[in-house]
Chains A and B, each alone.
Chain A
Amino acid sequence: MHKLAIYLAATAALAFTGSAGAQGYPERSITMVVPFAAGGPTDTVTRLVAESMSKDLGQQIIVENVGGAGGTLGASQVAKADPDGYTLLLHHIGMATSATLYRKLPYDTLNAFEYVGLVTDVPMTIVAKKDFEPTDLKGLIEYVKANADKVSLANAGIGAASHLCGMLFMSEIKTPLVTVPYKGTGPAMTDLLGGQVDLMCDQTTNTTKQIKGGTIKAYAVTSPKRLDALPDLPTVAEGGLPGMQVGIWHGIYAPKGTPAEVTQKLSASLQKALKDPNVVARFAELGTVPSSEAEATPEGLKSRLESEVTRWKPVIEAAGQYAD
């Protein structure tokens, strides 16, 4: 029955429990919850950072995927966890938008967590099917305004990064389009590749390789500066849409009440991980850069979360689309 042994060992490793003070933290493995499915962009970011932080902390960080309900299931699980520093959450911009998208959340977004720091700010790209007519962002805006009833805009589901970016795009060019939701980025990208749908705005983690491969057309990147990975792609500001600057920022959280020494220690470890050449290189391939040392702090994450909750509230309310 060696299969039994393997399985029991695996479960036992995951189920370690106990408690410890801040001294000597961490004394055992840490669970980092990702509120999305394994294999997605957020999961990838988490695993890269977790691996590097594990080396620094001398304890294994186990990534646990608790997907569902736009990330709110995973977040609520961590909000209820023991505040001992052994359960952490890595969540993206959805932490801020779900505060408005969901009218009934089982936790209070701004008061249920302690903060470790920002991890990265993944830029978005405005992309279209390969043979889409317009050649640049200005041309795209004109074309879309003139053909608003014909253009379809894909997104990966309510609350997804591509949904937020699409809402922002429509509100910036003041033209409502037909939006086509998909279950996740994969099918949305498939239809964009096949020319079944016209436009999408999605994270560089999903689009960079396709843009480089020439299978889709890119108009602009939503970061303040051009990307090293896509040097020919102008920014939204260059293209005349400065209000489109948006990033899918990722941060690490701990349950409310986690000792400050613990979050400080994690924060210091995060800052080191973000300078790890391996992490930097992988992030670059995905078209993103690690957050700065000033941002990768509890204060940096707290202020970002607060300002983003405020920023997205009116955009979501104007669109009138809620997730519950």
Chain B
Amino acid sequence: MDLLNNLALGFATAASPWNLLFCLTGVLLGTLIGVLPGIGATATIAMLLPITFQLEPVSSLIMLAGIYYGAQYGGSTTAILINMPGESSSAVTAIDGYQMARRGRAGAALAIAAIGSFFAGTVSTVLVAVFAPPLTAIALQFGSAEYFSLMIVGLVSSIALAHGSVVKALGMVVLGLLLGLVGTDIYTGTPRFNLGILELSDGLNFVALAVGVFGIAEILRNLENEHERDVVIKKVTNLWPTREDWKAMTAPILRGTVIGSALGILPGGGAILASFASYTVEKRISNTPGEFGKGAIAGVAGPESANNAGAQTSFIPMLTLGIPANPVMALMIGAMIIQGIVPGPNVATEQPALFWGIIASMWIGNLMLILLNLPLIGLWVKLLTIPYYMLFPAIIAFCSIGVYSVNSNVFDLYAVAFFGLLGYGLAKLRCEPAPLLLGFVLGPLLEEHLRRAMIMSRGDPSTFVTRPISLILLLLAAAVLVVVLLPSIRKKRDEVFVED
């Protein structure tokens, strides 16, 4: 009963009044910065690092972890209320969440997001506690060939993100892929599409792109027809999910949790696919795919659960290997090193109180988040009643501060402005920003893993089909393609992609 002993140790550590306080501080701060558009967990944790030096290592890590998953909760709030996602995960939530808000169902959308996140967080915390070491062993089986095939599955499925023209969605994916190529070729050091601008040598900033094409473009559109917006606000009705809502969200939450937990374990960029993958699955198996993009409950519940589950399980590679799965994890590792704990394969045995304390605090933090967020929903929805001429300058100001804080670089602000205009233009052409964002995220990974797999196999492309995991993934991608192309199923497909 090692596990029970360990969990007891963990809860004893995490539930000390002092650590509870830090956990609360963390999730509170995380929620706040998540709610502020454009300001991400990375920038906040970087700013707070110096404060943590004075704390006990366990307390500081509990607080930093709280900020991280608190921001995951908070990030969906802006995505739903003002169509302003701060991270790739909440970009998916924005698709249907914002439409729900426009229909006067902002409260229900926020509640669904919170409930889904809580459930997913609980399940994936148990996963981390019970299966961390064996899951790590599986994750290490993923080499570049496997990641490439996984990205292919993601790309093939991405078309489902569109709720308008398929051709336009394809076009957006390709544009996103191309934007993802800006920067430096990591294999040769050759600069690409950087127009001689040194700031572009590491590629475009994701936050700048997302804030621009989603948020700023939306503001421009809203300013165009302000009267329409006021009508929307007056319609805000019930804050809580109805009985039908509960029915509609249960299955997507379960599926989202499974998808997110599985993808979050992969340190090579699996977690970013979680919410996209969940959305695709929900839309595929839905009886009313036409509802997606117009405020489908499953389109909020699934991705939100997947995203939170992925956020939790992405702690696995960090805790068991000492390897960061994303920039936030890299910061946490930095914080540990400064505290004198070098994360590595032995942390669980050398620092059991720390290891299990963090795991236990994840669940406690999730509990706090739902207790914190449900009552706040009323407040957030009230935010929408602020006159728009006051709201939009504030949003733009916060976005600018947030984007600037990522790299302390003025260039990123020009990028926001540029992508805001681009996003507005695309909106006029009825092109969706979500497939563009997916292409942007997948493009560099796709290229990186394809080329690395080819280098490792010395140029032999059969590596993708002789490695079993890679083969299975490619077959899966082929199956998805067949479903889309086969004439007998085309009728179903036509229902999936209802033209505007």
Q: Which residues of A contact B (CB under 8 A)?
A: 3, 6-7, 10-11, 37-40, 43-44, 47-48, 51, 62-69, 72-73, 76, 101, 106, 149, 152, 157-159, 178, 180-183, 186-187, 189-191, 193-197, 205, 208-210, 212-215, 281-282, 285-286, 321-324
Q: Are A210 and B409 closer than 8 Å at their CB atoms?
A: no
A70 closest partner in B (C-beta) = B201
- Distance between A306 CB and nearest chain B CB, rounded to angstroms: 24
Q: A67-B202, A180-B455, A193-B140 are in contact. Are A38 and B49 (CB under 8 A)?
A: yes
CB contact between B345 and one of A44, A215, A321 (< 8 Å): that residue: A215
Q: Are A69 and B198 closer than 8 Å at their CB atoms?
A: yes
* Chain B residues within 8 Å of A181, by CB: 186-187
Q: Are A73 and B409 closer than 8 Å at their CB atoms?
A: yes
CB contact between B323 and one of A37, A72, A193, A286 (< 8 Å): that residue: A193
CB contact between A65 and one of B46, B143, B184, B187 (< 8 Å): that residue: B46
A152 closest partner in B (C-beta) = B456
- Distance between B341 CB and nearest chain A CB, rounded to angstroms: 9
Q: Are A323 and B332 closer than 8 Å at their CB atoms?
A: no
Q: Are A39 and B334 closer than 8 Å at their CB atoms?
A: yes
Provide the bound-state CA to CA distance between A40 and B333, in Å: 8
Provide the bound-state CA to CA distance between A144 and B288, in Å: 60
CB contact between B408 and one of A66, A106, A190, A286 (< 8 Å): that residue: A66
A-contacting 9-mer, from B31-39, B299-307, B472-480, B487-495: B31-39
Q: Are A39 and B32 closer than 8 Å at their CB atoms?
A: no
Q: Are A73 and B267 closer than 8 Å at their CB atoms?
A: no
Chain B interface residue count, Cβ-Cβ cutoff 8 angstroms: 59
Q: Are B324 and A321 closer than 8 Å at their CB atoms?
A: no
Given contacts A7-B398, A69-B202, could you give 15 more A-B pairs where the C-beta distance is less than 8 Å?
Answer: A7-B36, A39-B324, A39-B334, A48-B338, A62-B50, A63-B50, A66-B409, A67-B407, A68-B407, A178-B455, A182-B452, A190-B267, A210-B344, A285-B340, A322-B189
Q: Are B198 and A76 closer than 8 Å at their CB atoms?
A: yes
Q: Are A7 and B401 closer than 8 Å at their CB atoms?
A: yes
* Chain A residues within 8 Å of B340, by CB: 281-282, 285
Provide the bound-state CA to CA distance between A68 and B398, in Å: 23
Q: Are A158 and B456 closer than 8 Å at their CB atoms?
A: no
Q: Are B321 and A193 closer than 8 Å at their CB atoms?
A: yes
Q: Are B448 and A183 closer than 8 Å at their CB atoms?
A: yes
- Distance between B467 CB and nearest chain A CB, rounded to angstroms: 10
Q: Are B188 and A186 closer than 8 Å at their CB atoms?
A: no
B335 closest partner in A (C-beta) = A39
Provide the bound-state CA to CA distance between A99 and B46, in Å: 29
- Distance between B143 CB and nearest chain A CB, rounded to angstroms: 4
CB contact between A213 and one of B144, B344, B398, B401 (< 8 Å): that residue: B344
Q: Are B321 and A190 closer than 8 Å at their CB atoms?
A: yes
Provide the bound-state CA to CA distance between A40 and B324, in Å: 10
- Distance between B319 CB and nearest chain A CB, rounded to angstroms: 13
Is residue B195 contacting chain A, with contact meaning CB distance below 8 A? no
* Chain A residues within 8 Å of B391, by CB: none
Closest 6 CB pairs of A and B: A209-B344, A39-B334, A194-B140, A39-B330, A213-B345, A158-B189
Provide the bound-state CA to CA distance between A76 and B199, in Å: 11
* Chain A residues within 8 Å of B334, by CB: 38-40, 43-44, 47
Provide the bound-state CA to CA distance between A187 and B456, in Å: 15
Is residue B327 contacting chain A, with contact meaning CB distance below 8 A? yes
* Chain A residues within 8 Å of B46, by CB: 38-39, 65
Is residue B414 contacting chain A, with contact meaning CB distance below 8 A? no
**What are 8 A-B interface contacts by the 8 Å CB criterion?**
A3-B33, A7-B39, A38-B334, A68-B199, A213-B345, A215-B345, A285-B340, A323-B189
B325 closest partner in A (C-beta) = A186
Q: A37-B327, A38-B46, A285-B340 are in contact. Are A73 and B199 (CB under 8 A)?
A: yes
A214 closest partner in B (C-beta) = B345
- Distance between A56 CB and nearest chain B CB, rounded to angstroms: 16
- Distance between A110 CB and nearest chain B CB, rounded to angstroms: 19
B140 closest partner in A (C-beta) = A194
Is residue B5 contacting chain A, with contact meaning CB distance below 8 A? no
* Chain A residues within 8 Å of B408, by CB: 64-66
CB contact between A6 and one of B32, B344, B345, B452 (< 8 Å): that residue: B32
Q: A68-B409, A209-B344 are in contact. Are A44 and B189 (CB under 8 A)?
A: no
- Distance between A39 CB and nearest chain B CB, rounded to angstroms: 3
B141 closest partner in A (C-beta) = A194
Q: Are A158 and B267 closer than 8 Å at their CB atoms?
A: no
Provide the bound-state CA to CA distance between A190 and B345, in Å: 12
CB contact between A190 and one of B184, B199, B268, B409 (< 8 Å): that residue: B268
* Chain A residues within 8 Å of B332, by CB: 39
Is residue B12 contacting chain A, with contact meaning CB distance below 8 A? no
Q: A47-B50, A324-B201 are in contact. Are A187 and B268 (CB under 8 A)?
A: yes
Provide the bound-state CA to CA distance between A194 and B344, in Å: 14
* Chain A residues within 8 Å of B142, by CB: 194
CB contact between B143 and one of A68, A196, A214, A281 (< 8 Å): that residue: A196
Interface string of B129-147 (1 = CB under 8 A from A): 0000000000011111000
Is residue B343 contacting chain A, with contact meaning CB distance below 8 A? yes
Q: Are B456 and A197 closer than 8 Å at their CB atoms?
A: yes
**Which of A6, A10, A180, A196 has most B Cβ within 10 Å?**
A196
* Chain B residues within 8 Å of A3, by CB: 32-33, 35-36
A155 closest partner in B (C-beta) = B186
* Chain B residues within 8 Å of A193, by CB: 140, 321, 323
